Amino acid sequence: MEWTPDPRELADLELLLSGAFEPLTGFLGHDDLHAVHERGALADGTPWPAPVTLRVPADLSPGDEVTLLDPEGLPLAVLTVTAHEPDGLTAGTVKGLGTPEHGPFARLRRTPAQVADELGGRPALAVTMRGPLDDLSEIVATAKELDAVILLLPLSYGEAGPAVVRAALRAKEQLPAGTIVVSVPLAPREEPELDLELREHVATAYGATEHLAGPEPVRIPGPPHRRGLVVFFTGLSGSGKSTIARGLRDALLELGTRSVTYLDGDVVRHLLSKGLTFSKADRDLNIRRIGFVAAEAARHGGLAICAPIAPYAATRDEVRETVESVGADFLLVHVATPLEECERRDRKGLYAKARAGLIPEFTGVSDPYEEPEDADLVIDTTHLSIEAAVSRVLDTLRGGGWIR
C-alpha cells in the first residue's frame, strides 16, 4: 500500500534516511517507545532520547511493505513493517527510494556523510538554531579556542523554517570563512530536555565535537485584527447557518477592515468537491477540502467564513488543527436550531425527500449530526432574526479583537 505521512513524520523520515538519526533504521514500536520514556534508551539498551513514530491507519501485519510518499505523491521510502498496533502505531525499517526534491533551501539539505567529507576530520562547533542568533562573539571565541569549523544547523521544520535558514545565512556573512550551513528539518519535541538531547544527537551525527544550542525563537502574536481567522459555521440543513454566514460576509465587506473569503457548503459541493457522494468518507473529504482552503486564506491574515453542515466532531477537530497549524485563529459557531424547526422550514424540500427514502444518508434523518461540545458561539434561530444572529457573531468578533 501507499501512505503519505504527516509533516512531522515526513521530517523524521528524512532524518532517518539521511543518517542523522543513527543508530535508528526506522520508526519505533511500542516496546522501544516505552523504553525511551522510561530510560532514555531503546529496548535493547541503545541510548536514544526521544520518540520517532509513524501512524498508518490500515490493517497491517509484520512483513508488509508500505511505500511512503511526499505530499505530491513522490515515493520517498519503503517501510517494512515489524509491528502494527490497533491505534495505527507502525514500527518498521525504512529504505530510501529518492531524496526530497522540493521545499525552500532544498540545496542546503545535506547528509551527515556529505558534511563529514567536507570537514575532512577537522573539529566542528555545531550551533543548532530555531531562531536568530543573538551573540555571534561567543560562537567565534569558542570556535577559535577549539580551532574548529563553525557548522550552523538551522532546524528548518514547519512554517518558521525558511526564516530560520535565512537567519543562519545572515549569520554566516558575519562569521569566519569556511562556516558551513546545513538545513535540518528537525521537528521540535514538547519536552525541552528531550528536544535539547535530540538536537545534541543530530549535531554529533553531523560531526560536531562541540554543540551550542541557539536561543529559542520568541513568538509574539500580532493583534487579533491582523491575525488570520476562520469562522466555521456548523448546523443542520435549514438551521440558518448559510444565511447567517452570508450576512456576516456582507457586514464585514461593509466595514472594509478585513479581507474576506466566503465558502458556502452548497457552492463548494458544485465546484471544489464536485463528484463526491454523501458517504461519510466523502463528507469528511469535503470538509477537509473546505478547511484547507480556509486555512490558506487565513494563513496571511485573511478572514474566511465557512458554512457546511460538518456533522462529524472528529472532522471539525481536524479543520481546527489545520487552521491553527498555520498560525490562524478558529471560531466555531454552532447554529443549533432544532431538527423539528429545520424540518418545518424545509425550504428545499430535502427533509420530505429524505423521509420518503429518496435521499440516503441525510443528516438528521438517516445519518447522525454530532453536536459540538467545543463551540465558541451557539445560536438558535427558532425565535431569532437573521439580523440579530449576525449581530451576535459580530459582537463575538469585536469582543475577541478580530474586528475593530
List, as residue ranges, the binding site for ATP: 235-242
DSSP-based three-state secondary structure for 157: coil
What the block records as the C-alpha cell of 260 is 474576506
Bridge pairing between strands 90-96 and 75-84 = antiparallel
Cβ atoms of 144 and 125 within 8 Å: the answer is: no
Contacts of 231 (CB under 8 A, 6+ apart): 245, 248, 303, 304, 305, 306, 331, 333, 393, 397
Question: Sign of the CA dihedral 230, 236, 242, 244?
Answer: negative
Cα–Cα distance, 232 to 145 (Å, whole number): 57
Residue type, 53: T
Element at 11 (helix H, strand E) = helix 7-18
Contacts of 194 (CB under 8 A, 6+ apart): 49, 50
List Cα–Cα distances, 65 to 31, 78, 92, 196, 326, in angstroms. Answer: 21, 6, 9, 33, 32
Cα–Cα distance, 214 to 133 (Å, whole number): 6
